[in-house]
Chain A
């Protein structure tokens, strides 16, 4: 998957707990993204980063925060998980033209 590693691959958590998902790339690409994919909604952008410490909101950013302290790592944090955040989360990277996706993290919030 284009040098992208997402961890964990699966996670089950309880409502109200904090959750952090990690995306690690070995391609040295400038741009990194977090998407969620839900039936009936398709892929929706949560947050993206255009450089170390440079991030911006996407379409569905409420309830999520991100951090990028190194080029290769992009973290997505759910400060207080809710059941509506049960989803498959994909990290993606861009070489300034094309978008490449990781394998995804299946998150269940009970």
Chain B
């Protein structure tokens, strides 16, 4: 079993839909959870950063962590064509310092149709 599993998609939704993106993980030591957005031919950009369990909201984006189920989600409300990108989850056990211990999912490709 890989440490982080993420459905690669592709996921296609109509504009305005609520999108749910998910990752599961096996290492119970993970405490820091991130979502990155990557547009085609660009580097990943940090979208959401959460610590431990719970929810975090930023505009149309909500990140949710369920450590008991080892499951994290990213919800996008009122999705827009500009949200079309690949979304990568990432997680680590340790705070800051070297991020050489950051583990990435393989990414889910999202397409939002006008």
Contact = CB atoms under 8 A, between A and B. Distances in A.
Interface string B31-53: 00010100001111110010000
Interface of A: 1, 4, 31, 33, 40-43, 45, 48, 50, 56, 58, 90, 92, 94, 96-104
Interface of B: 34, 36, 41-46, 49, 88, 90, 95-100, 102, 104-107
A99 B88 contact: no
Given A42-B107, A43-B104, A48 B46 contact: no
Given A42-B88, A42-B106, A42-B107, A98 B46 contact: yes
A26 B49 CA distance: 23
A33 B44 contact: no
A90 B104 CA distance: 14
A16 to B, nearest CB: 28
B104 A42 contact: yes
A48 B95 contact: no
The list of the 5 closest CB pairs from A to B, nearest first, reads A101-B43, A42-B106, A96-B96, A43-B104, A48-B100
Contacts of A45: 100, 102
Given A1-B43, A103-B43, A98 B98 contact: no
Contacts of B43: 1, 4, 90, 92, 101-104
Contacts of B88: 42-43
B7 to A, nearest CB: 13
B52 to A, nearest CB: 15
Given A1-B45, A4-B43, A42-B107, 9 more contacts: A1-B43, A42-B88, A42-B104, A43-B104, A97-B49, A97-B96, A101-B45, A104-B42, A104-B43
A101 B98 contact: no
Contacts of A31: 97-99
A33 B44 CA distance: 14
